[in-house]
Amino acid sequence: MSPKNLTTTLKTIAACAMLTGVSAVFAHVTLPPGAATVGSDYSAAFRVGHACQGAKATTGLAVRLPKGFVLSDAQARKGWKLDVQKSGDGEVRWTAETPDSALPSSERAEFVLRGKVPAAPGTLWFKVLQTCDTGAADWAEVPASGNSTAGLKSPAARLNVVAQGVATVDVRDAWVRQSVPGQSGTGAFMKLTAPTGTKLVSISTPAAGNAEVHEMKMEGDVMKMRELPGGLELPAGQTVELKPGGYHVMMTDLKGALAKGASVPMTLKFEDAKGVKTALDVTLPVGAPEGADAAGAAHEHKH
């Protein structure tokens, strides 16, 4: 990839990350995408993207620490008072000292605390009380079962704690392009966000004899695809999108036709700069989701 193309790609990635970020934090107080490994030190950056409904500014944020999370410290904010209560039900509270230091509704900010996550996998819910110049919003709803916040009006901020060896990478909007009988290959697409930098190095799926991460590359005037040498780099906190016409998972030697509505299990394998290997099992629906870019639908495979 030429430096010019690389720059364009990075700009695209940054733009995508910003877009997804905006939609994710427009109303809710959330943690960044991605999980934490059991027993690890975790920096929890609570994202506030909007004041309470009808309010002009956020004047306070109080995070109730879930059981099993051991706080080490919280980041001070200029113009804000920081109260840390470690004993009992722990709480970290930031309060704007003057109306001038309050966070305007149009601005986004991160409130950061650090600590150790439990030694057992599970879901941690951080309940967050946001106070504003007028009113308050209590982000404290937890699903009755499972860990999906879909359908909750004011969900608590969620952190998934995963076992050693399981990747902490967040996988969103994943799908596989449908194929017709006799077709030998197809593509899979998704958005990946790694909380700490890593690389997608290999993929396997029982649905195909072979699966590779491909990039599109201009050779003269011709757009060609090829296996990405060394895997797909996932910089910390940046959303990297695999999409038609761009990076994609190339599935070849399909075991059968993939009809819309079917699902495809896939194992994604990662390796970070220190050589630590992790894996993630995901299940992808077959068929483009609503709003997916189908423009690159002509997924011709020429090697």
Nearest approach, Cβ of 225 to Cu ion (angstroms)?
A: 4
Asked if 173 and 243 touch (Cβ cutoff 8 Å), the reply is no
Q: Which position among 214, 215, 242, 244 is part of the footprint of Cu ion (CB under 5 A)?
A: 214
Binding part of the chain for Cu ion, among 14-22, 102-110, 201-209, 225-233 by CB under 5 A, reads 225-233
Tokens standing for 96? 């704007």
Q: Does 177 bind Cu ion (CB under 5 A)?
A: no
Cβ-proximal residues to 10 (8 Å cutoff; 6+ apart), any chain: none
Nearest approach, Cβ of 280 to Cu ion (angstroms)?
A: 21
Q: Does 176 bind Cu ion (CB under 5 A)?
A: no
262 secondary structure, DSSP code: -
Residues near Cu ion (CB under 5 A), total: 3
Q: Does 17 bind Cu ion (CB under 5 A)?
A: no
Cβ neighbours around 164 below 10 Å, total: 12
**210 vs 263, beta carbon nearer Cu ion:** 210
**66 vs 185, beta carbon nearer Cu ion:** 185
Nearest approach, Cβ of 168 to Cu ion (angstroms)?
A: 27
Q: Does 254 bind Cu ion (CB under 5 A)?
A: no
Nearest approach, Cβ of 169 to Cu ion (angstroms)?
A: 21
**114 vs 299, beta carbon nearer Cu ion:** 299
Q: Which amino acid is at 140?
A: A
Q: Does 157 bind Cu ion (CB under 5 A)?
A: no
Cβ neighbours around 200 below 10 Å, total: 25
Residues 182-201, mask of contacts with Cu ion (x by CB under 5 A): --------------------
**71 vs 213, beta carbon nearer Cu ion:** 213
Cβ-proximal residues to 118 (8 Å cutoff; 6+ apart), any chain: 38, 39, 68, 69, 124, 161
Strands lying side by side in the sheet with 198-204: 232-234, 198-204, 263-271, 277-285
**77 vs 214, beta carbon nearer Cu ion:** 214
Distance CA 204, CA 156 (A): 34
DSSP 3-state of 281:
strand
> Which residues in this chain contact Cu ion in the complex, by CB under 5 A?
214, 225, 250
